[in-house]
Chain A
Amino acid sequence: MSRTRALSPHARTVLAVLLDAGGQWSHGYELARLADVKSGTLYPLLIRLEAQGYLEAEWQQPAEGGRPPRHAYRLTATGVQLARANPPGHAVPPAGRRREATI
């Protein structure tokens, strides 16, 4: 069952970086650097996005020998929609902040 939850600023930034990559594959270290998030924040987020169908992942073989394979990521069609609907810097403020002061 899908569940809509407010996206964190980090999630919005990572989505924006993935969106900027177009259809190109991105890698964990590069994503963490470009989005300026720690890997400990990035990977749980990637796991969640992938589980919810917003992200696809694949293993890529190294171009040169002796290097390990890399796990690469890109947005699915629904992920692109999610990223466009949640640009960075447009987080919805908590409801409590919108309450007017009362006397």
Chain B
Amino acid sequence: MSAGLRRGLADFACRALQATLPPSLHSWGWAVRCETAGIPDDTKALLFALDSVCGLMPRAVASHLLQPFASLIGDGAPFSEGSTSMTVFDAAMRRPRAVGVACAIGAVVLGLAHMVIAGAPTRYLGVNVGALVIGLTMLALIGRTAPTGRQWTGGAILAMAAALLATALAGIEVEGVLRWVRIGGFAIQPSLILLPLMIVVFSQARSVVATAGIIVAAAAMALQPDRAMAGMLVLGLATLTLLCRDRQSIVALAASVAGFAVTLARADTLLAVPYVERVFYSSFDAHAGAGLAVLGGLALLLVPAIVGWRRDAGNRVAYAALGAVWLAAIMAAALGNYPTPMVGYGGSAIIGYALSLLALPKRAGVHAGVASRTHGETDSTLSDRHLLVGLA
């Protein structure tokens, strides 16, 4: 290869790189081109240019592919923090509730995959999808219209607790257990729908009325009895007490511990229902793919709480309550014959998870990457001007 050809190829590679880089990084394209031009040896110049293209081009292409999400991640984002996925993540975390919705959808989809692989009846798939639609619709409606304030939340918690108590007293009885009510031909479990919401709402607005509601709920769980939901109440309130240490949290925790103790003392002899309970074990028996879908879906349930805790310090109590609630549900499903939330058959947990996302703020106070982007754009403009002056 002639020296002229090598030099020409090097220049062509640099121009291609310049054309591909996002505008905020054009100065870096010029930097590579000028540096290449300054290397006396043609072969070394060509290798320098090609190496640069290999290192920068994938990120430049990624930047263009992410252009549709520019409003979320900003121009040149794949370079701004050194990791495309982390930058997308930063942008997503500005909308914690949207992240929760995405995780809910992902978990349900993985649950559907598990049920398809495991050979569940088709009707089960439809029920879970329908529950997801109902849950997200309720989330949208309540999130938009619900009034705020301790008085309203206290009353709401008390009303939900009354519904749980009514279930314990007049619900569908199966072998001495009263956890369900029949609505529209479906037996639903109100505690899975209401209790997570009650806990996360209580974490945000505690009052005497709300505390009374939690005490009633603890009594209802003891009466039903429901060890899993009583455990959820204990774990959620213990987390809250650790973070807030106020009188209402402590009183509510004490009541929940008492209720949980009652459920532990009473025998729980219900057999596991296929595709609902013991899914941790049955899914892997069916196929490794089904098992992995179950694990992945359950992990997704905790993602909004974990990343929110790390990224949105102003709302940590809400994230902690949400995480504790669903961790308790997962632990219960792993340890006993209790519903496997979201990934097993059952719409109550799906609706309950969607409603519990009301605890997450629509927008977090995260401004990651703004400073660096502004800096990059300013630098780009100045550097290009300097280069043009230099070339003139």
CA distance A102 to B383 in the complex (A): 57
* Contact between chains at B366 and A32 (CB < 8 Å): no
* Contact between chains at B35 and A27 (CB < 8 Å): yes
- Mark contacts of A67-86 with chain B using CB atoms, 8 A cut-off: 1 yes-contact digit, 0 otherwise: 11111000000000000000
Residue B70 interfacial (CB < 8 Å): no
Interface SS of B by simple majority: helix
* Contact between chains at A41 and B390 (CB < 8 Å): no
Determine the chain A residues whose CB is within 8 A of the CB of B28 once the complex forms: 43, 46-47, 71
Given contacts A1-B366, A29-B38, A50-B379, contact A44 B390 (CB under 8 A): no
Residue A51 interfacial (CB < 8 Å): yes
Residue B372 interfacial (CB < 8 Å): yes
Interface SS of A by simple majority: mixed
* Contact between chains at B48 and A39 (CB < 8 Å): yes
* Contact between chains at A57 and B383 (CB < 8 Å): yes
Given contacts A40-B56, A61-B390, A69-B386, contact A28 B82 (CB under 8 A): no
- Mark contacts of A45-75 with chain B using CB atoms, 8 A cut-off: 1 yes-contact digit, 0 otherwise: 0111011110001110110000111110000
Least CB distance from A30 to B in Å reads 9
Given contacts A39-B48, A44-B82, A69-B391, contact A28 B56 (CB under 8 A): no
CA distance A51 to B77 in the complex (A): 11
Given contacts A29-B48, A62-B390, contact A1 B32 (CB under 8 A): no
> Range of interface residues on chain A?
20 to 34
Least CB distance from B99 to A in Å reads 16
Number of residues in B with C-beta < 8 Å to the partner?
A: 40
* Contact between chains at B35 and A28 (CB < 8 Å): yes
* Contact between chains at B379 and A38 (CB < 8 Å): no
* Contact between chains at B79 and A51 (CB < 8 Å): yes
Q: Report which residue of A38, A41, A46, A69 has the largest number of chain B beta carbons within 10 angstroms of its beta carbon.
A: A69
Least CB distance from B8 to A in Å reads 16
Least CB distance from B269 to A in Å reads 36
Contact of A51 among B34, B81, B390, B391 (CB under 8 A): B81
Residue B182 interfacial (CB < 8 Å): no
Least CB distance from B114 to A in Å reads 28
CA distance A37 to B81 in the complex (A): 21
- Determine the residue in chain A with the shortest Cβ distance to B367: A1
* Contact between chains at B30 and A29 (CB < 8 Å): no
Q: List 18 A–B pairs whose Cβ atoms lie within 8 Å, in order of A's numbering.
A: A1-B90, A29-B39, A38-B51, A39-B35, A39-B49, A39-B52, A39-B55, A40-B51, A40-B53, A40-B55, A44-B55, A44-B82, A48-B82, A58-B386, A61-B390, A68-B33, A68-B390, A71-B30
Shortest beta-carbon contacts, A-B, top 5: A40-B55, A69-B390, A71-B31, A59-B386, A1-B368
Q: Which residues of A contact B (CB under 8 A)?
A: 1, 3, 5, 27-29, 32, 38-44, 46-48, 50-53, 57-59, 61-62, 67-71
